[in-house]
Every structure is written in structure tokens, then in C-alpha cells.
Structure 1
Amino acid sequence: MLRGLYSAASGLISQQRRHDTITNNIANIETAGYKQNTAALRSFNEMLLSITGVNGQERRSIGTWTGNVFAEESLTYHLQGDLTETNNRNDFAILSNIAVDDLVFDQSGKAVRANGEVVFQPQAYFTVQNAQGEIRYTRGGQFSVTSDGYLTTSTGDHILGTNNEPIVLPAGVSLDELTLTSDRRLVTSAGTDTGIQLLISRIDNPNGLVREGDGNFKLVEGTAVPITDLDAVEVRQGYIENSNVDVLQSSVDLMAALRAYEANQKIVQYYDATLQKTANDIGRIG
């Protein structure tokens, strides 16, 4: 009986985490460059059950039992979001579609080779430096300029150029006076090159990125290399990348998580009533 109670309780916890993940996605629908999260649920390892000492019989197997379920990790979908034109020259958006050996990637950005090898579609990111001097990656392209000319994200992180240094605009020049070229250089309205070129990094395995908040990701596995292929990755000025959250699917998943939570809740209530009857009524009769 307690096994069933523990299974239902683990289901409650897992569905609550799933619900929290989905509501966080919905809350960030309007966040530029936000990447959708999904909670990966899995069961505990299988256990072999057996019977021993029943009517003098030898021990025999009666099957397996997986028991509880838990939210193993939170996975991020790094796929391209739609672009919206803002006509704000401080806004930048990455349009990325990096091909790998003619593979066709599914909605989660995954493809499988003929030999069974799983491949994830590489993704492109703005490269930034936080207040601690650490390198981070983001798709949030709503930039601003500080009083001392540094180009920063909306959260104050410095945007890096291809020289791996924070970008500093020429004195007295604003982004409104600069245009981004196809090779990601900033030039003046007169066509003068400022010597500034945005550093766009390619992450071959985006699952090696860990979300840190404020739209930033930390690369904990794999490497990042500067992107030089102008055909695979385009950066547009005056655009923002919308969140890649699927609103309709999130609504369906939210309702499913709620129904599963309620079902587990009823099971817990059932076991609670059964245990109460066992302890009070049966115990009193004995």
C-alpha cells in the first residue's frame, strides 16, 4: 500500500515541476530571444520483485516494478524564433539555420543519422561578458549604450566584438547613426567603418548550454567558435527575435499537468482514507 502512496506523491511533485516549467514559458512569451523549457520526466530504475517462503516454495520472480517518477532535468529548445520588425536601431536579431550534412532536424532540433547517432542542430548566439568578466551567450538583442560608450544588453552585460573585447562606440556616436552590414560590421551613415564587428558564436551542441537567467546561457560542455559563414547566419538591425514558446501547445500541456496532478491527488486521498480505516476501524475491532 505504501508503494502506491509513494508513487502518487512522486507524481504530485513531478507534475508540479512540470506545471512550474510551463507557466514560466508562458510568462516569457513576450521576452525577446527567450528559449522554451520542457521538463523531462522519467521513472525510477526497475526493481525485480520476488516471493520467498510461501507454503514452503522456493523464491520465484513475480515481475518488475518501476515505482516512482521524477523530473530528471529541464531541457531547452534552442530553435529559431520568429522575427518582428521594430524599426529601433538598438534592436538586433539573429536569423540562424545552420545545416549539418543535409540532415533534417525535427521540432526539437534533433536528427538521427543512419548509424543511429543523434545530432543536434548548431545554434548561433551573441557573445557577451558579464560583470564578473565571464563569457555568456544570449539571443536577446535589445541593446543599449552606456554613458561611456559601451554596447550592452538590456541587463548590462557587455557585447563582445570579434577581437573578444567589449564593444565601445566612437565618442559622440549613437547606434541611431550606425548601420549593421551583412558581415556584421557597424558603419556610419557616411559609410565609414568604425572597426567594430559583432562576435556571433556557433554552439555545435546547444544542449551544452545551461540557462543562468536574464536570457543568458553558460557553456558547460563543448566549444564555441566564431561564425564566418554569412549564408547560414544573418544578423538584422531593427528586429527582435520573439520567444519560441508554442502558446497553444503550452496551454494543452498546462491542462494535462493539472489533470495528472489532480489524479495523483485523488490517489493520495484514497490511500489516506484506507490507512485511516485500517488504523481506526480494523484496529478497534481487533
Structure 2
Amino acid sequence: MIRGLYTAAAGMVTQQRRHDTATQNIANLNTTGYKQVESVSHSFPEVLISSMERGTMKPIGRMNTGVFAEQSISKYLQGDLIESGKTTDFALSADLRLTDPATGGNIVFDGSGKYISNQGETIYQPQAFFTVQDNDGNTFFTRNGSFNVSPAGELLSSGGYKVLGTNGQPVILSGTEGDLKVDGEGNLLDASTGAPSGARLGISIVTRPQELVRDGNGVFHVDDAAAAGVRYANAGDNMQVRQGYIEGSNVDATQAAVDLNAAFRAYEANQKVIQFYDSSLQKAVNDVGRV
């Protein structure tokens, strides 16, 4: 009986986390560059139940001992591009591919941006990010390209991070904000001639985006750049920089609402189970125990 109470309590905690995740997604429906988060639940280890018959153990079956929300996974799928008309707004349009070592062809990712190989390995689609830096020199990645220019001419993100170029240094504009021109590959163009000025936005390709860690303010970091396969974009990548656009949130509003309601109903069901166990224990102690 006590085991069932603990199982229901674990279910309540898990549904609370699912509810919090859905609430977070709904709250960021209009956040530029926001990537939807999904809560992944797993069961506790199963218990093998057996019975003793004439000195031998006879398997009966397996019993699950509860569930827990193990982690939250971000979905890095492309959000809708929204035209803003601002010269300091940028959006990334990317459909990056990987080669399947077994067939030699391009891997075809599913609607969630992942691929399951014949060996059971999960491979996630590489993603492109703007590279930014905080005042302490820490490097982060973001899809929020709503930038602005500081009085010193530095290109800054909406969170105050310095936008980096491919040389690893902050991008500093030589002219006015209205003179800023960037081509599809991220090259900054000379305002007078329209030719590449030599500076380029630092667009980072993260080959294994599952290694990214969400930091808030729309930025991510990696603990090990080599393990995440971080590199700068090159001409061979199927990626384009769109000036005067921003990338909207990729949250599916309908699915987020469904997840929110489902988590609430499951939480309520587990709550009623706990109330039932509480009532049963009360009778066992006060009534049966009295006999």
C-alpha cells in the first residue's frame, strides 16, 4: 500500500514539471528565437515479482515503481521568419545535413530534427547560431538576432551580449546603424561600394545540438566545444543570413495547450489516488487496528 502511495506522489511531481514546461513554452510564444522545450519522463527500475512454490521461484511478472521527469530537451526546429525592416535585425535560415556513414547519402531527419540509425543511435540535426560573448569573455549561442548598436559602435544582442565575428572578436561598425549591410553569408558590406568589408558575423554550427545547455535570456552554452562539434559556418553549409528579419518562436501553441491540460488532469488523478491511500491507511490504523 505504501509503495502505491509513493508511486502516485512521484507521478504528481512529474506532472508538475510537465506543467511547468508547458507553461514556459506558452509564456514564450512571442519570444524572438525561443526554442520549445519538451519534458522527458522515465520510469524507475522495474521490479521482478516471483512466488515461491515447493522450494522453487516462479516468475509472476514485472511491477513498475514510479515515474520521474528526467530531463528537458529543446527542439531546435526552424521558427517562422518575420520581417521587421530594421537593419540591425537578423534571422538564420538553415537546413543543415549530415552524411550517413552506412549509405554515404544525406541523413533524412524527421519532423523533430532527429534520426535513428540502424544501430539504434539517435542523431540530431546540426543547427546554426549567432555567436555572442558576455563581459566576462564567456561564449554563448543564440537564435535571437534582434540586435542593436552601442554608442561605441559595438553590435549587441537584445540581452546585452557582444556579437562576435569569425575572428572571435566583437563586431564593431565603422559607419552608422543605417549603413549596416550584410549579405546572405553573413559578410559585412562596405556602405559605399557594396563589396565585402572583410568582417563577417560569427555564425556557429553546432553539429551535436543535444550538447547545448540552456542559460536563459535566449542563449545557450556548451561545456565542451569539441564534443558538441562547434565550428564556424562555411560556404558549403545550407544556411542563409536574412537581414531585416527576426526568427519567431517555434512553439506549437496548440500542442502546448494540450500538454498543459494533460499534465493538469494527470496530476489531479494522482492526487485522488493519494487521497484514496490516505483514507485506506486511516481506516487500517483507526478501525482495523482497534480490533
Change (3 A) 1:113 1:50: closer
Output the amino acid matched with 2:176: S
Report Cα offsets for 1:39-61 as digits up to 9, x if no partner: 00010011222345x8x754443
In the alignment, the residues of structure 2 paired with residue 111 and residue 223 of structure 1 have an alpha-carbon distance, to the nearest angstrom, of 17
Note if 1:253 corresponds to 2:256.
no
Q: Which residue of 2 aligns with 1:92?
A: 90
Output the amino acid matched with 2:73: L
Q: Which residue of 1 aligns with 2:40?
A: 40
Deviates most, 193-202 or 263-272: 193-202
What's the TM-score, normalizing by structure 2?
Answer: 0.91
Report Cα offsets for 1:107-143 as digits up to 9, x if no partner: 2101133454432111100011112211111101010
In the alignment, the residues of structure 1 paired with residue 121 and residue 40 of structure 2 have an alpha-carbon distance, to the nearest angstrom, of 21
Report Cα offsets for 1:88-122 as digits up to 9, x if no partner: 11110000101223222112101133454432111
Contact 2:124–2:209, Cα closer than 8 Å, also in 1: yes
Q: Which residue of 1 aligns with 2:142?
A: 138
1:204-215 pair list within 5 angstroms? 204-215=207-218
Report Cα offsets for 1:31-85 as digits up to 9, x if no partner: 1110010000010011222345x8x754443322221100010011011111000
Match of 1:65 among 60, 63, 77: 63
Contact 2:131–2:140, Cα closer than 8 Å, also in 1: yes
Note if 1:152 corresponds to 2:156.
yes
Contact 2:185–2:235, Cα closer than 8 Å, also in 1: no
Output the amino acid matched with 2:199: I
Match of 1:281 among 268, 271, 287: 287
Output the amino acid matched with 1:113: S
Output the amino acid matched with 1:19: H
User: Aligned to 2:59, what secondary structure does the other structure show?
Assistant: strand
Q: Which residue of 2 aligns with 1:187?
A: 189
Q: Percent identity?
A: 45
In the alignment, the residues of structure 2 paired with residue 249 and residue 41 of structure 1 have an alpha-carbon distance, to the nearest angstrom, of 17
Match of 1:107 among 88, 94, 111: 111
In the alignment, the residues of structure 2 paired with residue 216 and residue 86 of structure 1 have an alpha-carbon distance, to the nearest angstrom, of 21
Contact 1:26–1:247, Cα closer than 8 Å, also in 2: yes
Report Cα offsets for 1:205-246 as digits up to 9, x if no partner: 110101011111111342211111366000111100001101
Output the amino acid matched with 1:161: G
Note if 1:224 corresponds to 2:230.
yes
> Which sections of structure 1, spanning at least 5 residues, go unmatched?
none
Q: Which residue of 1 aligns with 2:76?
A: 78
Q: Which residue of 2 aligns with 1:199?
A: 202
Matched residue pairs, number?
A: 281
Contact 1:10–1:70, Cα closer than 8 Å, also in 2: yes
What's the TM-score, normalizing by structure 1?
Answer: 0.93
